[in-house]
Structure 1
Amino acid sequence: MSNLFKFFTPQDKKFHPLFEQAGSNVLKISEALLAAVSTSDLAKRKEIFKEIERLEHVGDDITHSIFLELSKNFITPFDREDIHALASAVDDIADYIYGTSSRLDMYKMDEISDPIVKIAEILVEMCQDIDKAIKELRSFKNIRVIADACVRINSGENQADYVFTMAVARLFEYETNAIELIKQKEVLQMIETATDKCEDAANVLESILVKNA
């Protein structure tokens, strides 16, 4: 019956393209953050921070478009609450990546610690999987791709959490400058939260998979 309903349901031309744009955009913004924290060229880093801000605004526009379509369309490719939850989760990732870059810029943190770079690397891998999984939502022909991506995203969040915990422990053990400690901890918290939001997106993807596969 479910397959019959899908057969007679018009091909979605609104939500899937928007979600694919959102997945591509969140991957771009994660890659930009990694580029920013990996370079020692401060002028180049400043330019990348501006690009991250632009990409965050692009993400906001895509999310707004998804919500607008949700309010106008009765027939949707999957549950309305899952559409809202996935759009919100992907938007949150971009928000926390932008929050990380804006704090690095605002706090004038010229020296980027290894844990921040490591979490940024993990974040890119997680966003690659989100982008890959979202593309598979269009047809559900290869559900293993979505399932495997979700497993890797959950594993990535665990890795990022471990890096964060160890980094904060070292800060409290060795950092004697209280202001520097606060700045470092806040940036670490911000970028680690971005990985939490990736896990939130993976949870929604798993929910969609269970309901539609």
Structure 2
Amino acid sequence: MLFGKLLPREGNFFVLFNQHADRIVEAAEALNQLIKHYADPLLREKYTLAVDEAESAADTITVLVNKTIHQTFITPIDREQIHSLINTMDDVADLIQDVAETLVLYDVQTITEAMHRFADLSMRCCERVRSAVGTLDKIADGTVAEAALKTCEEIDKLEDDADRVLRSAMSALFREEQDVRELIKLKAIYELLETISDRCEDVANIIEGIVLENS
């Protein structure tokens, strides 16, 4: 019992979740700007760096959360939920960085309309993730819990929108693109972009579970 008293209780998990969600949104906003201004080499470099910095900051928070789990005697929610949530959130940040890096590595020359639509949907998904994460410390309040579930539903709908964009973009790509190398590059980028919304939906599913179990 003395050992339990010596270890911290609660921790600052909700604060760290919110900080990580902020970094995800920063990365998504930077990716959106990168795609909008891709034709300008200076702005391309600026926003690629912004994505990298946001992703690196998110990684630091993820490490801290996972370390804090082991240093905290009583956590505010289930340990496995904390672990799953922060690591799935980090997957979102990683994917955003993967897109930015792939654009450069594949030497993409032209940004398509589908990329713009994906980037916008990704940013909106990440903003909704931040909103949902921000409710977690108040879900004992039934009104807040209901709002959190509604936000998760909005993320699901945005993911459905991204699925439709992917199907449309792939159909057009295979019908119209004659250059096989360009087709391969764009296919990979489209799939990466769509996966961002998939991971946001995974975050939403974890949050739904937390809300239902703790509200």
Q: TM-score when scaled to structure 2?
A: 0.91
One-letter code aligned to 2:27:
I
Q: 2:123 matched to 1:124?
A: yes
Specify the alignment match of 1:7 in structure 2.
none
Cα distance in structure 2, aligned partners of 1:66 and 1:13: 9
Question: Contact (CA 8 Å) 2:18, 2:130: kept in 1 or not?
Answer: yes
CA shift, 1:14, in A, is 1.4
CA shift, 1:209, in A, is 0.5
Question: Contact (CA 8 Å) 2:11, 2:72: kept in 1 or not?
Answer: no
Moved over 6 A (4+): none
Specify the alignment match of 1:188 in structure 2.
190
RMSD of aligned Cα (Å): 1.3
Runs (5+) with no aligned partner, structure 1: 1-9
Deviates more, 1:40-49 or 1:201-210: 40-49
Runs (5+) with no aligned partner, structure 2: 1-7
Cα distance in structure 2, aligned partners of 1:131 and 1:159: 19
Cα distance in structure 1, aligned partners of 2:9 and 2:163: 40
Specify the alignment match of 1:100 in structure 2.
99
SS of residue matched to 1:109: coil
Specify the alignment match of 1:17 in structure 2.
15
Specify the alignment match of 1:115 in structure 2.
114
Question: Contact (CA 8 Å) 1:49, 1:105: kept in 2 or not?
Answer: no
Deviations 1:10-35 (A, max 9, x none): 98441011101011110111111111
Specify the alignment match of 2:4 in structure 1.
none
CA shift, 1:194, in A, is 1.0
Specify the alignment match of 1:58 in structure 2.
57
Cα distance in structure 1, aligned partners of 2:53 and 2:45: 13
Specify the alignment match of 1:4 in structure 2.
none
Cα distance in structure 2, aligned partners of 1:45 and 1:100: 13
Q: 2:85 matched to 1:83?
A: no
Cα distance in structure 2, aligned partners of 1:44 and 1:186: 23
Percentage of pairs with the same residue: 30
Cα distance in structure 2, aligned partners of 1:44 and 1:172: 31
| Number of corresponding residues | 204
Q: TM-score when scaled to structure 1?
A: 0.92
CA shift, 1:88, in A, is 1.0
Aligned 1:172-183 pairs, distance under 5 A: 172-183=174-185
